[in-house]
């Protein structure tokens, strides 16, 4: 980890992971097979790639009960409390439509409705996180989605990770399938005999899952394609180097491509953080991953002023931003682009990953310039409503007809005028 003088904007944007041609062809074949052959294709690809014979696609109530009964009680309560916090925050996001009265009894309105059905993809292996289940399911529940489905690849014994089943149970989700990969995405998008199609698919996955989501985009809605995790920290001389280093490493341990950046006005802090990162790295179970991340995309920048640091961070648009400075709230107020903002010494980023209530599905790779974390908004849609009274129609019909004719759409003009044909 090197200390650099910051000269200009920070840009660490990485190329979109689009896979190679062979991967794309594979994914297209899988989607086509699942679309045309349904469960047969799902079973065939599961045997081929996940290595077990998929009889019942759906997880049984017994499997869930076993997972819950053998789960640590204290952790179960922790998950429950986290779920409560996440629900409380997301309930603040609920929106009603509105009605806007016009003259003469006319009105415009916006009507908000929940999606009917959504599917959450949970990746397999070590990345099968109970917290992901909470973060994806709760916003959909708060939005009022009636049918929420989870699908995830099982291990070679045909079992799903215990934590995932427990988290699902805790939220009352019972429709869970042992299907992973592109075949899962295809099943959710087009439906099979066993899995009814959904309207939106969320959740991360490997390159095949990401490519499949891109392919079905438009048929169904998808969330953003997530990239490796990122953290940026703005700190001044009031911050503690060991805490800054620990927070940088908390993201670095996610992925060799994770990005951990400190922007500070204090050269002393910068130097101490570099030392602390090295020292803590040697103690970290996931040292190998975190070290790669720190070597590749770990940066410490020194700026003359906090204003410069703010500008740099806005140019980066990081997934996570911590602010450990004097007057941290004033700094936060000047941040335009960041997925999640963590203010002050005690708001370490993992607080938001697990527990505080905000969502941990956040925009990566500088997409915080235009994208938001997962929220209730992702599970609702809005219809516009127009009611024109006779009088409002009468007053405005000539204008509307003129505008339609300006665009060469005579049929539009006549439709509006037709209400006067019989007088």
Q: Is 251 marked within a binding site?
A: yes
Q: Of 179 and 201, which has the nearer Cβ to a copy of itself?
A: 201
Helices 267-281 and 287-297 sit at what angle, rounded to 10 degrees? 150
CA-to-CA distance for 3 and 278, rounded, in angstroms? Answer: 13
Residue number, 57 or 269, with CB nearest to a copy of itself: 269
Please provide the size of the chain in residues: 423
Q: Measured from the CB atom, is 104 or 308 closer to a copy of itself?
A: 104
For the bound state, the minimum distance from the C-beta of residue 53 to a copy of itself, rounded and expressed in Å, comes to: 29
Residue 99: count of CB within 10 angstroms of its CB: 12
Task: Please state the closest distance from residue 178 (CB atom) to a copy of itself, in A.
Answer: 21
Considering the complex, what minimum distance in angstroms separates the CB of residue 36 from a copy of itself?
13
Choice between 153 and 340, CB closer to a copy of itself: 340
Q: Do residues 181 and 31 lie in contact, with contact meaning Cβ atoms separated by under 8 Å?
A: no
On whether 236 is known to bind a ligand per the annotation, the reply is: no
Question: CB of 90: closest distance to a copy of itself in angstroms?
Answer: 10
Q: Which is nearer to a copy of itself, 204 or 373 (CB)?
A: 373
Give the alpha-carbon dihedral of 7, 10, 15, 17, to 10 degrees. Answer: 150
Q: Is 90 annotated as a binding residue?
A: no
Q: Do the annotations mark residue 353 as ligand-binding?
A: yes
**Which of residues 43 and 254 has its CB atom nearest to a copy of itself in the complex?**
254
* Alpha carbon distance 338, 329 (integer Å): 15
Considering the complex, what minimum distance in angstroms separates the CB of residue 348 from a copy of itself? 5
Q: Which is nearer to a copy of itself, 57 or 298 (CB)?
A: 298
- Beta carbons of 286 and 253 less than 8 angstroms apart: yes
Options 169, 320, 337, 360, the catalytic residue: 320
Catalytic residue among 230, 319, 322, 349: 319
Choose between 305 and 384: whose C-beta lies nearer to a copy of itself: 384
Q: Is 116 annotated as a binding residue?
A: no
320 is catalytic: yes
Spatial separation of the C-alpha atoms in residues 189 and 221, rounded to whole Å: 9
Q: What is d(CA 200, CA 150) in angstroms, rounded to the nearest whole number?
A: 12
Query: How far apart are CB 192 and a copy of itself at their closest, in Å?
Result: 17
Minimum Å distance from CB 215 to a copy of itself?
9
Residue 376 to residue 139: CA distance in whole angstroms? 5
Strands 147-151 and 200-202: unpaired
* 327 is an annotated ligand-binding site residue: no
Q: Which of 246, 259, 238 is nearest to 323 (CA)?
A: 238
Residue 55 CB, shortest distance to a copy of itself, in Å, is 29
Residue with tokens 């770990």: 298
Encoded tokens for 278 = 């090295």
Q: What is the spatial distance between Cα 390 and Cα 180, in angstroms, rounded to a whole number?
A: 56
Asked if 319 is an active-site residue, the reply is yes
Binding site for NAD(+): residue ranges? 121, 183, 206
Binding site for Zn(2+): residue ranges? 251, 254, 353, 412
Binding site: residue ranges? 121, 183, 206, 229, 251, 254, 320, 353, 407, 412
Annotated catalytic residues are 319-320
């Amino acid at each position: 980890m090197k200390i650099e003088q910051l000269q200009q904007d920070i840009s660490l944007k990485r190329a979109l992971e689009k896979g190679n041609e062979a991967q794309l062809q594979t994914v297209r074949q899988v989607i086509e097979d699942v679309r045309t052959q349904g469960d047969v294709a799902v079973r065939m690809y599961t045997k081929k790639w996940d290595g077990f014979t998929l009889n019942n696609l759906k997880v049984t109530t017994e499997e869930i009960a076993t997972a819950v009964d053998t789960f640590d009680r204290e952790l179960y309560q922790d998950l429950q409390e986290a779920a409560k916090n996440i629900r409380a925050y997301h309930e603040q996001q609920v929106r009603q439509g509105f009605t806007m009265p016009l003259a003469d009894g006319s009105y415009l309105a916006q009507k908000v409705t929940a999606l009917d059905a959504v599917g959450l993809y949970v990746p397999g292996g070590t990345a099968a996180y109970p917290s992901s289940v909470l973060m994806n399911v709760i916003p959909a529940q708060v939005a009022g989605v009636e049918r929420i489905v989870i699908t995830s690849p099982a291990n070679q014994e045909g079992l799903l990770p215990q934590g995932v089943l427990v988290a699902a149970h805790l939220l009352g989700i019972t429709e869970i399938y042992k299907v992973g990969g592109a075949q899962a995405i295809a099943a959710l998008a087009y439906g099979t005999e066993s899995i009814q199609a959904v309207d939106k698919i969320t959740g991360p996955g490997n390159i095949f899952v990401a490519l499949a989501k891109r392919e079905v985009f438009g048929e169904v809605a998808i969330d953003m394609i997530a990239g490796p995790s990122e953290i940026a920290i703005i700190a001044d001389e009031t911050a503690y180097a060991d805490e800054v280093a620990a927070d940088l490493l908390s993201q670095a341990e996610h992925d060799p491509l994770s990005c951990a950046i400190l922007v500070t006005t204090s050269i002393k802090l910068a130097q101490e953080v570099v030392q602390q990162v090295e020292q803590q790295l040697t103690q970290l179970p996931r040292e190998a991953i975190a070290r790669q991340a720190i070597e590749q995309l770990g940066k410490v920048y020194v700026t003359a002023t906090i204003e410069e640091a703010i500008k740099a961070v806005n140019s980066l648009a990081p997934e996570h931003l911590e602010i450990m400075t004097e007057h941290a709230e004033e700094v936060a107020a000047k941040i335009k682009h960041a997925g999640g903002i963590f203010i002050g010494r005690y708001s370490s980023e993992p607080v938001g990953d697990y527990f505080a209530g905000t969502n941990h599905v956040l925009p990566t790779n500088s997409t915080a310039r235009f994208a938001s974390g997962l929220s209730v908004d992702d599970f609702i849609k809005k219809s516009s409503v127009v009611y024109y009274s006779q009088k409002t129609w009468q007053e405005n019909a000539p204008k509307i007809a003129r505008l339609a004719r300006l665009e060469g759409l005579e049929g539009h003009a006549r439709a509006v005028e037709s209400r006067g044909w019989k007088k």
